[in-house]
Amino acid sequence: MIEFTMPSLGADMEAGTLCDWLVKPGDKVKRGDIIAQVDTQKGLIDIEVFDEGIVDQLLIKEDEKVPVGTVMALIRPLGEKAVPTIEKPAAVYPVAEHIRASPLAKRIAAEKNIDLSAITGTGEGGAITKEDVERAAGLKLSAAAEKREQPADSIRMAVAAAMSKSNREIPHYYLETKVDMRHLIDWLASENKKRTVKNRLLPAAVLLKAVAKALAIVPELNAYWENGLQLKNEINIGFVVSLHKGGVMIPAILDVAHKSIDEIMALLSDIIPRARNLKLRSSELSASTITVTSLGEGSVETVFGIIYPPQVAILGFGSITEQPWAENGMLDVRPVMHITLSADHRATDGQTGSRFLNELKQQLLKPEEL
Amino acid sequence: MNEPELKQTILKMLKKVAPDSNPETLQPDDNIRQVLEMDSFDALQFIVALDEHLGIEIPEEDYGKIDTLNKLIAYLKQNMQKG
């Protein structure tokens, strides 16, 4: 039997509340299917399953908050026979004999975990009716909703927790370089001239592709630090999306190395609005192997990021600005971008970081080859 | 489409692209992207929406000509007449 557990959607997540099961026992599921929705500090997240089989048992009830790693459901691999199971009795409040309530009211109270002794019945002779129980259940739900934090506040707290952990535990080192972006800007403009409005590219798509290519050459930065350095095969870039109401979401653009710039652009167009609406899938929140933050035009020139653990590096792209540029003994004005690398000194040294930044620079100087 | 209708259409599209912003508070000469805190992705979505709703494809080199409401309305009116 395969155990389906509450996933960790980042270093800052300790628990999640199951909102909805989207499957029932007996349903067939395959890798990538969304089977539940879980409320986290980062919003309501669609949780995917990573195995194929038949849903055998759902062990967690809706509205239940459980720690990361808790078994939520059992999935029977295809071909394996079903084993009859004894259902775990639901925790119910003991019903005192003297409480007068209709059988239906008792059943609903048991299902919803409502204490009948706390309800005043409005039925005949003071008996508790179905309506009384439902009213009490509604009060319980609204009290829970009142307690729930606003999404913007909870995202702030999630960012705060992850960044504090990073700052406490990771010895960062910082490197910076500058790139002449004239050729890349001209190339992008000529590419976009050939395209319809809908298919135009943004610089971010080109930057992500260049990062993936440089990581393929210097893979030490595409890694986790978990009991030592663990290199990752797939390059999944967490792209920082700032939310208009404050805070950030960092969805992963998966397997960037094997995607074209157009495919990366299409993924960004899909994922950015979903990130802003807090509608991401579990794999998009947990799969990043490195993070990229791009401040975009009109912003400051340099950003030094804080690593998102257990990753070992974060890249910062500043705004492109016109600057004096010396080359071959001549002074000119060029569109220049500052690129910074914040890296984990437990995992790599400045020499590796420097090699990576130089490789990235070379990639950006030849965008037509990306 | 007259000028007030065009303005309303633009504001509606801006609201769709940047739902947390208040486009109705935009002054005619405000820089749209700066005031509504739109990033390059939002800006591209807005250009796509203008193309889809009004059939006007704005080339990248004209982005500088449409940075305020006044300039955008004038640009669109001119191009709608051409079309």
Distance to chain A for B3, nearest Cα, Å = 24
Residue of A nearest to B37 (CA): A244
Assign residue A124 the CATH number of its domain.
Answer: 4.10.320.10
- Domain check: are A110 and A202 in the same one? no
A40 and A170, same domain (yes or no): no
Preceding peptide of A310 cis, ω within 30°: yes
Percent of chain A predicted with pLDDT > 90: 55
Helix (H, G, I), strand (E, B) or coil at A54: strand
Closest by Cβ to B20, choosing from A204, A245, A268? A245
Give the pLDDT score at A319: 93
Q: What is the DSSP string of A14-53?
A: -EEEEEEES--TT-EE-TT-EEEEEEETTEEEEEEP-S-E
Final residue of a structural domain among A41, A62, A77: A77
In the predicted model, is pLDDT for residue A87 greater than 70? no
A204 and A292 housed in the same domain? yes
Domain of A193, CATH number, reads: 3.30.559.10
User: Residue A249, by phi and psi: left (phi above 0), alpha (psi -120 to 50) or beta?
Assistant: beta
- Does the beta carbon of A247 lie under 8 angstroms from any beta carbon of chain B? no
CB atoms within 10 A of CB A32: 11
- Asked whether the predicted pLDDT for residue A86 surpasses 60, the reply is no
Residue A316 Cα distances to A24, A28, A40, A208, A361, angstroms: 44, 43, 27, 11, 13
Q: In chain A, how many domains are there?
A: 3
Q: pLDDT value at position B37?
A: 87
Ordered alpha helix ranges (H), chain A: 103-111, 130-147, 151-169, 182-193, 203-217, 261-276, 282-286, 350-365
**Residue at A91: amino acid letter:** A
- Which helix (DSSP H) or strand (DSSP E) does residue A173 occupy? strand A172-180
pTM of this structure: 0.77
Same domain, A208 and A268: yes
Classify residue A163: in a domain, yes or no. yes
Contact A62, A17 (CB under 8 A): no
A200 vs B20, B39, B44: nearest CB: B44
The chain-wide mean pLDDT, for chain A, equals: 87
Interface of B with A (CB under 8 A): 18-21, 33-34, 37, 39-41, 44-45, 47-48, 51, 57-61
Give residue A45's pLDDT.
86
Q: What is the pLDDT of residues A328-352, one digit of tens each?
A: 999 999 999 999 999 999 999 999 9
pLDDT bucket at A156, cuts 50 / 70 / 90:
confident
| Residue A358 structural domain | 152-369
Residues A35 and A161 in one domain: no
CA distance A287 to chain B (A): 23
The answer to whether residue A228 scores a pLDDT higher than 80 is yes
Nearest CA in chain B to A189: B60
The residue among A341, A334, A335 whose CA lies nearest residue A317 is: A341
Say which CATH architecture domain B3-82 belongs to: Orthogonal Bundle (1.10)
CATH code of residue A38: 2.40.50.100
pLDDT tens readout for residues B9-30: 999 999 988 887 889 999 999 9
Rounded CA separation A71/A98 (Å): 38
pLDDT at site B81? 73
Alpha carbon A341 to its chain centroid, in Å, reads 22
| Residue A354 domain flag | yes
Between B23 and A12, residue with greater pLDDT: B23
Instruction: Give yes or no for residue A97 having a pLDDT over 60.
Output: no
pLDDT value at residue A123? 78
Query: Under 8 Å CB-to-CB from A257, ≥6 apart: which residues?
Result: A212, A213, A215, A216, A234, A235
Indicate the residue among A118, A147, A176 that finishes a domain. A147
Confidence of residue A166 (pLDDT cuts 50, 70, 90): very high
Residues A294 and A360 in one domain: yes
Most confident of A98-107, A145-154, A214-223: A214-223
Name the token pair of A135: 């009213």
- Is B74's pLDDT higher than 60? yes
Beta bridge partners of A179: A337
| Terminal Cα-to-Cα distance of chain B (whole angstroms) | 13
Please give the average per-residue pLDDT across A161-166, as a whole number.
88
**B31 vs A145, more confident:** B31
Query: In this complex, is the C-beta atom of A194 within 8 Å of any C-beta atom belonging to chain B?
Result: no
A321 and A271, same domain (yes or no) = yes
Query: Across the interface, do B41 and A204 touch by the CB < 8 Å criterion?
Result: yes
Do A35 and A180 belong together in one domain?
Answer: no
